[in-house]
A and B are shown apart, each in its own frame.
Chain A
Amino acid sequence: MDMNAKVERLLRLVERPARYAGGELGAVIKDAAKVDVRFCMCFPDVYEVGMSHLGSKILYALINAREDAWCERAFAPWVDMDEAMRSHRVPLFSLESRTPLSAFDIVGFTLQYEMSYTNILNMLELSGIPLRAENRAEGMPIVACGGPCACNPEPLAPFVDLFMIGDGEEVMNEVLDCYAACKREGKGREHFLREAAQIDGVYVPRFYHPVYNEDGTFDHMEVEPGFPKKIRRRIVKDLENTFNLTQMVVPYMGIVHDRIMLELFRGCTRGCRFCQAGFLYRPVRERSVDKLKQLARALVDNTGYEEMSLSSLSSGDYPCLSELIEELVNMFKNEKVALSLPSLRIDSFAKKYADELSVGKKTSLTFAPEAGTQRLRDVINKGVTEEDLIRSVTDAFASGYNAVKLYFMIGLPTETNEDLDGIADLAAKVRAAYFSVPKEKRARGLRITVSASAFVPKPCTPFQYVPQCTVEEFREKQRYLREKLKEVKGVEFNYHDPELSSLEAAFARGDRKLADVLERAFRKGCRFDSWSDCFDYGRWLSAFEEAGVDLGFYAYRQRPLDEKWPWGHIDTRVREEYLQNEYKKALCAARTKDCRQGCNGCFDRESYANYCGV
C-alpha cells in the first residue's frame, strides 16, 4: 500500500483528521526531484498550536522562496493518531507530500517551551530517526533546532545535530546554502556538520564536551580544536529589508491564533527582569508604517483572513501606533477585517484606541500587571502602576468592554504574602472601576479573571540566579490567594500546575545530564506534558530518580553570582555583568529605565556598535 492510501486509512480512525490531511490554501507543493534540499518544519505540539506560530510561518515562506529548497510541515500527532500510526506501522509524514520524515534532508524543530521536548523525541521515534545524534547513520536527516529555548540547548544537545541561535531569517539561508553545497560535492553528514559549525550562530553540540565539578555544577566546555568557543546569537539588523512575510498557510480547522499576525517590531525596550524574550530579542527593531501597510494589504489579499492582530512583545510601544491603527482601520473598513491588539500594555493603552478597535469584536481585554504591589513590580522592573491599570480598565469599561483578564506571576523573587494580598486588592479595584462607570455607559455582566502562573526562572535573564519556589510553596501561595480572592465578588481564579513548572525550571536551566532524564521520561510514556490530561508527574519523578539526577538541584538551588553556566558558550550578546547588576538592583527594588529613554549598556561593545547604537 502506498503512503497516501495508508494515511487515508488512518484519517478515518482519528479525531479531527483535518490536523493531518494537509491541502490547505497556501500549502506549497514542489517537484521533489527539482530541489536540492528538502526541509521539514516540525512543531512539537498539535496542529492547532503549531499552526499559530509566527516564526514557523516566516521560515516556511522563506525556505520555499528558494528555488533549490522545499519546506513542508509536520506536527505532533495527538495521542489517538500516535496510537493508530504505531499499530498500522505508518511513520510520521509531512502534510504537503506525505513523505516520511526520515526521507528529508533536514528535520527542523522549533523550541518554544521546555515541556514540548518529549514530543520532539516522540516525533523522531515515529519517524524512525534514531533519538541520539551519534546513532544517526549517513543518509539520515540532519536534526536541527532553533527558537527561544535554544538559548540553553544543553538538555537537548545529545539528540540534536545542529542548533540555530537567534533570528532565523539569515542563518537559515546560510545553513541551507552550506547543506546544498555539501550535497552537490557529495560530502556526508559529518562533513556538513563540521562546515555548518563555522557559520555564525550555529552550534553543533557533538564538538562541545561539558566538564562538571564534583558537586555536580558545571565547570567548563571542552571545545574541539577549530570550532568557535562562543556561539553568538544572530540578530537581523534591519527588519524592514529582511525577508518579509506576505503569504501563509490558511488552515481549514480552527486554530489557536486564527488570524493574520502583523509583526510590528522585534525586541522590547522595557527590560522586565523575568522576561526571557525581552533579553533574547534585543535590540528593538521596528518596521515603518508604510512597510506594515504594504504587508497588511498583501496578507489580507493572499489569505482572506477576517482578523488581524498587531503582534510584537509590546505593541503599545510602537511609536506610530495610533497612525498605524487609523491607516489600517481605513484600509480594511469595507472588507470587514477586524483588528486586535493582544499584548497591549496597560500603560500604553489609550481610550482612543479602544474606540478605533470597535470595528472588530468586543472581546475581553487582557492586562498583565504581573505582580500585586508596586514594590514587587519594581523588583521585576515591570513599569506599570496601579493608576495606569485602573485608568485603562475604566476607559475600557466605558467603551463597552465587560471582561478583563489579569495576568500575574506568583513565586517571584522576594515575594511575601503582602504581594499576594496586592493581587486581590487590584482585582477589587478593577471591580470598583467597573461600577464607577455610569450604568447606561457600561456593558452588562462584568467578568474578571485572575490568572496566576508559577514563576519559572529562565536562563539569560537577571533571575537566572534565583531558586524557584518548591511545589509545596506554590500550593500554599495558591491556597492563600484563592482565599483572598474569595473576598472579591465575581472573580474567576486560574492557576497553573506547580509540578509542571518545576520541570520547566529544571529544563530551562539544565545541563546535558538532563538529556538522560528526558529520554527516560519519554520511554515511560511522557508526551504532551503541557496538556494537563497527558501530564504525569510521577513518571517524571521516577525518570529523575533512575537517571540519578536531582530535580531540586536545577529548580530550587540559589546560584552564586559567579556560577558557570552550562549554556555559557551561547552568547546572547547581553553581558553577564549586566545580568548580575540587574539582579542586584532587583533585590533592592531599583528600577532600570526603558531603553528608549537612553542606553542602559546591556550589550557588549561590538554588538552595540553593530546592531543597536546606530
Chain B
Amino acid sequence: MRIIAVFKKTGGARYISHLDLQRAVQRALRRSGLPIRYSMGFSPHPVLSFASALSLGFTSVGEVMDVAMAKEVSAAEFEEKMKPQLPPSLALISAHEVADGYPGLMALVEAADYEVTAKVSPALTFADLKSRIDDALSAPVPAEKKTKAGMKELDLREQVLAFELRALENGTATFFLRCDCSPKGSLNPKLLFDALADRLELLEEPEYCRLALWADKTGCTPLWGRKEP
C-alpha cells in the first residue's frame, strides 16, 4: 500500500531545492520508524515521489508526496509518526491511504492553484486592477519558452484555467491563479506575472504560494480522490 500525504513548504523551507527536499523527507521517514519500502539495488532508498516540483523561493500549503509502505499503515499512524519528524516549515497536513495499484502522482496531477501577492501602484483601485486583468487576458499573452527544438512562442492564456483578483489592501494585491500543472504542460506563474508586470503595475517581485494540486482541471478532485477505474 501507499500513503499520499499533504505538507507545507513555508519559511526557510522555500529555499530547499527539489532534490534536497527529497533527501530531507527520506531522512524524516527513517527517523519516524515507519515500515517504509526501499528500492532494490546497490543504494537502496525509500520509494518516494512528489506530485510536482515547486520553484525555488515559492512557498506552498499544498505539496503532495507519495510514500510506499512495506506493511499496512493507517493514515492516522502515518500522521502520528511523521508529524514530529518534520520541521514546522515542512509541516504535515494530512495523510491518505491508497492501494498499490492506484495511479502515481505524476500521472494524476492536472492543475495547480497559486496565491500571488505583490505591491502594486497605489493609484490603482480594486476595480482598476480587476479590469487590467480582464484586458490582459483578452489578447494573447506571448512568452518565449526554451524547448528541445529551440525557442518557442507561446500564448500563456492557453494554460491559465482561472485568474482573479481576490483582494487589494494597503497597496498589496492578492491574486488567485489556477493553471495547468501536469507532465504534458505546466505554467510557472512567474512566467505569467513577469509578462504582465507592467500592465498590472507591480512594484516588486511577487510572492508565490502554491495552495493546492488537483487531479482535474476544475479543482474538484484531490490527488488521492480519483475513483478506481
Contact = CB atoms under 8 A, between A and B. Distances in A.
A32 B30 CA distance: 32
A12 B55 CA distance: 12
A336 B205 contact: no
B145 interface: no
Interface in B15-46: 15-17, 19-21, 23-24, 26-31, 38, 42-45
A300 B30 contact: yes
B195 interface: no
B76 to A, nearest CB: 22
Place the interface of chain B in its size category: 20 to 34
A487 B21 CA distance: 46
Interface string A241-273: 000000000101110000000000000000000
Interface stretch (A20-28, A425-433, A520-528): A20-28
B159 interface: no
Contacts of A300: 30
Given A23-B12, A304-B85, A18 B27 contact: no
Interface string B1-24: 000000000011101110111011
A250 B12 contact: no
Interface string A304-322: 1110000000000000000
Interface residues of A, number: 27
A252 B16 CA distance: 6
A11 B23 contact: no
Given A11-B15, A18-B16, A23-B89, A304 B42 contact: no
Contacts of A336: 38, 44-45
A336 B23 CA distance: 14
Interface class of chain B by DSSP: helix
Interface in A8-53: 11-12, 17-18, 21-25
Given A11-B15, A304-B31, A362 B42 contact: yes
A550 interface: no
B93 to A, nearest CB: 18
B219 to A, nearest CB: 29
Given A25-B87, A361-B43, A362-B42, A304 B16 contact: no
A5 to B, nearest CB: 12
Contacts, number: 67
Nearest to A335: B30
B27 A305 contact: yes
A301 B28 CA distance: 10
B171 interface: no
Contacts of A530: none
Nearest to B21: A252
B7 to A, nearest CB: 14
A254 B20 CA distance: 7
Nearest to B87: A25
Contacts of B104: none
A307 to B, nearest CB: 9
Interface string B51-81: 0000011000000000000000000000000
B210 to A, nearest CB: 17
B12 A21 contact: yes
A360 B43 contact: yes
A23 B31 CA distance: 18
Nearest to B25: A304
A303 B30 CA distance: 8
Given A11-B15, A23-B11, A252 B20 contact: yes
Contacts of A305: 27, 30
A391 B12 CA distance: 50
A341 B26 CA distance: 23
A338 interface: yes
Among B15, B16, B45, B87: residue with most chain A CB under 10 A: B15
Given A18-B16, A336-B38, A306 B24 contact: no
A385 interface: no
Contacts of A335: 30
Q: Which of A253, A300, A302, A360 has the most CB of B within 10 A?
A: A253
Given A18-B17, A336-B44, A12 B205 contact: yes
A305 B29 CA distance: 10
Contacts of A362: 42
Interface in A285-308: 300-306
Contacts of B45: 306, 336
Nearest to A12: B57
A304 B27 contact: yes
Interface in A327-381: 335-338, 360-362
A160 B135 CA distance: 64
A521 B228 CA distance: 69
Contacts of A22: 12
Contact of B26 (A21, A301, A304): A304
B43 A338 contact: yes
Contact of A17 (B15, B21, B85): B15
Given A253-B16, A301-B31, A23 B26 contact: no
A408 B21 CA distance: 38
A253 B17 contact: yes
Contacts of B56: 17
A21 B27 contact: no
Nearest to B15: A17
Contacts of A338: 43
12 contacts: A17-B15, A17-B57, A18-B15, A23-B87, A25-B28, A250-B24, A250-B27, A252-B15, A252-B16, A252-B24, A254-B19, A304-B29
Ordered nearest first, which 5 A-B pairs have the shortest CB separation? A304-B27, A23-B12, A304-B31, A21-B12, A304-B30
Interface of B: 11-13, 15-17, 19-21, 23-24, 26-31, 38, 42-45, 56-57, 85, 87, 89, 205
Given A11-B15, A21-B12, 9 more contacts: A18-B12, A24-B87, A25-B87, A252-B16, A253-B17, A254-B23, A305-B27, A306-B45, A361-B42
